[in-house]
């Protein structure tokens, strides 16, 4: 991978400063240049704070704005932000109503956000709760424990739906309950071609069940026709999600940064067709769909499929207005 940069060590912070300059209409760079906040926060609401390592853009800082996050902090590439960075971001936006930390289920993120939450007492004006996102669709046939579920592109879905409720004035406990419900109704699986030199993988294999840090998948498969790969992805997600008959779904086909839109759009169509043809006594409806690069892994050649089981309330919150750098509708 070739990058335009001045200094590898400064890339993450310079990228954040560039985003703040680009979207000065809605964003402001926090003190110290390591977090982004809404330029015009909504008064009297619970603050939503998230973050993670750089290299996943537009996640998380690109989702700060009306109807989504109030602040996001960023660490170096693929490295969780330290507790002091998390606390600084939270202090910038938290009022008496408190703050909700939305955290991906990775050890580094959980550790540092946990420490920041402990440090928050006496530093913030309101209480702090945490919501752990663990949306990975585990292949149940492999007997893997649910504790291993990683936080993947479903994190963006959680941030959007919970963000809409926060914008409407929901209190902290309601947001925690709502967020847990969305996590439980959301599953993601990712596939990618192995990175160059990744265990000297044969060129005719793909990684199935990848995360968002270039790590190997849950297992490798021989490369096959794309519609068969899509069918495997849909099967794994549906087995984990177990939607009821007549389910309505939100479908997000997320690119990891190295797939052109011509491929993503084609695969999104294949996903919709595979869902319509899903076996069993189910009539699955893709009520909403989103395709693009939202939670990336630099330029990894692959994508992830996220499905969220919708009801009237969740559909209404998904459709609610949002105005962030990477997501905007209804405004």
Rounded average pLDDT per 10-residue block, the chain, 331 residues? 73 92 97 94 95 96 98 95 96 96 96 96 91 86 61 98 98 98 98 68 81 86 88 94 92 96 95 82 88 94 97 98 98 86
Top-level class of domain 10-184? alpha beta
Question: Could you give the residue range(s) of every CATH 3.30.1180.20 domain in the chain?
Answer: 186-315+325-329
* Fold of the CATH domain 186-315+325-329: Hypothetical Protein Tm841; Chain: A;domain 3 (3.30.1180)
pLDDT computed for residue 2 by the predictor: 65
pLDDT computed for residue 141 by the predictor: 47
Question: Could you give the residue range(s) of every CATH 3.40.50.10440 domain in the chain?
Answer: 10-184
Identify the burial level of 319 via C-beta atoms within 10 angstroms of its C-beta, where 0-12 means exposed, 13-18 middle and 19 or more buried: middle
- Tell me which of 35, 123, 174, 213 is the catalytic residue: 213
- Tell me which of 56, 60, 66, 325 is the catalytic residue: 56
Q: What is the pTM of this model?
A: 0.94
pLDDT computed for residue 11 by the predictor: 84
Place of tokens 């709760």: 129
Torsion of CA 108, 109, 112, 115, to 10 degrees: -120
User: Is 56 annotated in the active site?
Assistant: yes
Q: Are 322 and 330 in contact (CB under 8 A)?
A: yes
Q: Are 284 and 243 in contact (CB under 8 A)?
A: yes
User: Is 213 annotated in the active site?
Assistant: yes
Joined tokens for residue 59: 């996640």
Closest CA to 16 of 7, 27, 8, 4: 27
Closest CA to 187 of 307, 314, 105: 307
């Amino acid at each position: 991978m070739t990058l335009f940069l001045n200094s590898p060590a400064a890339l993450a912070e310079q990228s954040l400063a560039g985003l703040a300059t680009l979207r000065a209409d809605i964003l402001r760079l926090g003190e110290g240049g390591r977090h982004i906040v809404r330029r015009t926060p909504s008064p009297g609401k619970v603050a939503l704070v998230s973050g993670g390592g750089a290299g996943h853009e537009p996640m998380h800082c690109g989702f700060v704005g009306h109807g989504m996050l109030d602040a996001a902090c960023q660490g170096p590439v693929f490295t969780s932000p330290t507790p002091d960075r998390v606390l600084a971001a939270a202090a910038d936006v938290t009022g008496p109503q408190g703050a909700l930390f939305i955290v991906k289920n990775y050890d580094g993120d959980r550790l540092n956000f946990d420490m920041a939450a402990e440090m928050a007492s006496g530093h913030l004006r309101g209480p702090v709760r945490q919501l752990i996102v663990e949306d990975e669709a585990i292949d149940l046939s492999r007997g893997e424990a649910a504790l291993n579920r990683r936080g993947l592109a479903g994190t963006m879905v959680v941030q959007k739906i919970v963000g809409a409720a926060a914008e409407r004035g929901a209190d902290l406990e309601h947001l925690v309950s709502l967020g847990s419900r969305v996590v439980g109704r959301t599953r993601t699986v990712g596939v990618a071609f192995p990175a160059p030199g990744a265990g000297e993988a044969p060129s005719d294999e793909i990684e199935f069940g990848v995360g968002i840090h270039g790590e190997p998948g849950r297992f490798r498969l021989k490369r096959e026709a794309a519609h068969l790969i899509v069918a495997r992805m849909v099967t794994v997600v549906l087995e984990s999600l177990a939607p009821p008959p007549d389910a309505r779904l939100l479908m997000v086909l997320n690119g990891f940064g190295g797939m052109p839109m011509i491929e993503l759009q084609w695969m999104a169509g294949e996903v919709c067709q595979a869902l319509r043809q899903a076996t069993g006594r189910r009539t699955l409806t893709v009520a909403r769909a989103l395709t693009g690069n939202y939670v990336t892994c630099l330029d990894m050649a692959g994508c992830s499929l996220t499905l969220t089981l919708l009801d009237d309330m969740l559909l209404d919150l998904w459709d609610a207005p949002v105005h962030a750098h990477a997501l905007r509708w209804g405004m």
